[in-house]
Amino acid sequence: MADWREVARTARTYVVSRGLEPAAAWDEATKRAGIRTRGGYPKTTFLGLCEAGYVRGIPAGTYADRAGAMRQYAARMVELLVEDDDYEDDPMELFTTATDGKVGEQGQLDVLFGLWNHGLIDVSSIETRVS
């Protein structure tokens, strides 16, 4: 089984320390982890968090080559966590709320919490809006 938490942290490191674009960093991190698939929803979640400017050290921008709702869902999960930290205790409720139940969980939470639990999600812009 893929360790999307580790892949997400490694990809972030590749962006920050090697200057890779987030999509290329993700691909390199999956290769390093020996994962054959590039990630689908987990990759899109990572790119969505990067695009929103929520991954520490990675500026907001356009990093995915095609549109997809999972990118918006990824950002929404972070916003919900900031609004109500009780979601940390019930990650599936967080996921269902963020996606309106439209998507099955396939590693997206691992990507989010792999970064969140290591202090790699920058919530400063969200906290300003919520306060």
What phi, psi does 19 have (nearest 5°)? 75, 20
Mean pLDDT by 10 residues, the chain (131 residues): 91 98 96 86 96 96 84 95 93 97 95 97 74 46
| Closest to 23 measured CA to CA, from 49, 3, 2, 5 | 49
Integer Cα distance of 18 and 127 in angstroms? 29
Question: Can you give the pTM of this predicted structure?
Answer: 0.93
